[in-house]
Amino acid sequence: MTQTLTTKVLIIGAGTGGYVAGIRCGQLGLDAVLVDGGDGLGGTCLNVGCIPSKAIIHAASKFETVSKAAAGGTLGITAAQPAIDLSQTVAWKDGVVKKLNAGVAALLKKSKVKVIKGWANFTDAKTCTVTTADGDIVVSAEHVILATGSEPVELPFLPFGGDVISSTEALSLDKVPGKLVVVGGGYIGLELGIAFRKLGAEVAIVEMADRLLPLYDKALTDPVAKWLEKHGVELHLGAKAGSFEKGQLNITTRDGQALKLKADKVLVTVGRRPRTQGWGLENMGVAMAGPFVKTDDRCATSMKNVWAVGDLTGEPMLAHKGSAQGEIVAEIIAGRDRRFDPVAIAAVCFTEPEIVSAGLGPLDVEGRDDVITAVFPLMAIGRALALEAGDDGGFVRVLASKTDHRLLGLQAVGQHVSELSNSFAQMLEMGAVLEDVAGTIHVHPTMGEAFHEASLRALGHAIHI
């Protein structure tokens, strides 16, 4: 028997955009229904993306630390050679995810959001049928928020299955592969490739571009490239992957040579695409912008009272962007005047070392003579040296306007620099000038002192260099 349900707000997708929209709707007194279509509460980020990957990365770093201690000692600490049972590590990771799932469920319940687990299919812009384990539910709404997220891109000649895996399967392996080949040298491939190298796998990376992390400038990516070289990661840049047969991946090198790379697992991380298929988007009458749903600065689509947030709306495809959009849309529906117009959205690569970027970078201001650029090395920061984080070529970089000293962009590379990302975003969002950073007394000893010193250097009077 088909049930029917009417609501003020219908949210499709329970990821960081959708569930945050639901919670904010509840806080504002809006009747809301949230449809969770597959990944689980928290979506890709919580279940098979940001959180579990960082858990595995953390475990890998712990394993590496003990391995160093076993290989002759580090910081005066010695240890026996470690072993890893990856199935236990994955079970711990799953426990972290389960705890967060329960937390999101509790928050939605507190906000009186009705959660339906099932797959939605729209027949028109405001009506969908949700197929659940207990039968179909037809839901109609005054407002619809689309938050369906994204999915890994599959290569036609390397379809997922068996030993060809996406990041989702990589986070649930029961043992460390002896030989892992990563296809794609972007942040997902590098984060996981580095983690598995720390866990003892032999790793090769195949990237079509001439260098890794091509969206970042070379100064930011060089320390990562040096780590890979130092730790024996095999790099094939300017190379194209082919088919995978009998435990070997066919590739064509930059100079046209055909090679076969042995692999126990092939991890394909060539990007993500918006999830637009299989739920009736074509019946909703919304305009598209290439593969993405077209939205304005209110996250409104071309169809009245249909909104879209998160990865579905385009780059940057970042969890925190989706959350911010979800919150804004809920407030607009409640009658508030809101716009999604951030000065900057900081991005972090949890590689070794980490990379942070917010606002404009050197490539964006190339050729301009009205920009001050200042770099401060982490090796001159006491806290960095005490954390063994100052000898990998890390730095903090500041870009500011010559005329009024307003901050234009901030970047950093080095161990633990991900924790500077919020400070970077905050200063840019507040329209800070170099003197604002220079005049803020930064706590000693912290990594954040490098931000202070880089700003002082841009003004011509860094203290510790």
Do 14 and 148 contact (CB within 8 A), yes or no? no
| DSSP structure string for 126-186 | TEEEEEETTEEEEEEEEEEEE---EEEPPBTTB-SBTTEE-HHHHTT-SS--SEEEEE--S
How, if at all, do strands 258-262 and 306-308 pair? unpaired
Peptide bond into 445 cis (omega under 30): yes
| DSSP structure string for 49-114 | SHHHHHHHHHHHHHHHHHHHHHTT-BTTB--PPP---HHHHHHHHHHHHHHHHHHHHHHHHHTTPE
Among residues 236, 444, 452, 461, the one annotated as catalytic is 444
Question: Two tokens at 20?
Answer: 């945050």
Q: How many CB atoms lie within 10 A of CB 339?
A: 11
**Which DSSP state fits 463?**
S
Report the C-alpha dihedral over residues 6, 8, 10, 14, rounded to 10 degrees: -120
The CA radius of gyration of the chain, in Å to the nearest whole number, is 24
Our measurement of the distance from residue 256's CA atom to the centroid of its chain's CA atoms, rounded to an integer in Å, reads 33
Of 326, 362, 324, 359, nearest to 345 by C-alpha is 359
Rounded Cα–Cα distance for residues 52 and 319 (Å)? 14
Classify burial at 66, counting beta carbons within 10 Å of its beta carbon; exposed 0-12, middle 13-18, buried 19 or more: middle
Question: Two tokens at 446?
Answer: 């912290």
The answer to whether residue 444 is catalytic is yes
Rounded Cα–Cα distance for residues 35 and 120 (Å)? 7
Of 323, 366, 361, nearest to 342 by C-alpha is 323
Q: Which residues are catalytic?
A: 444
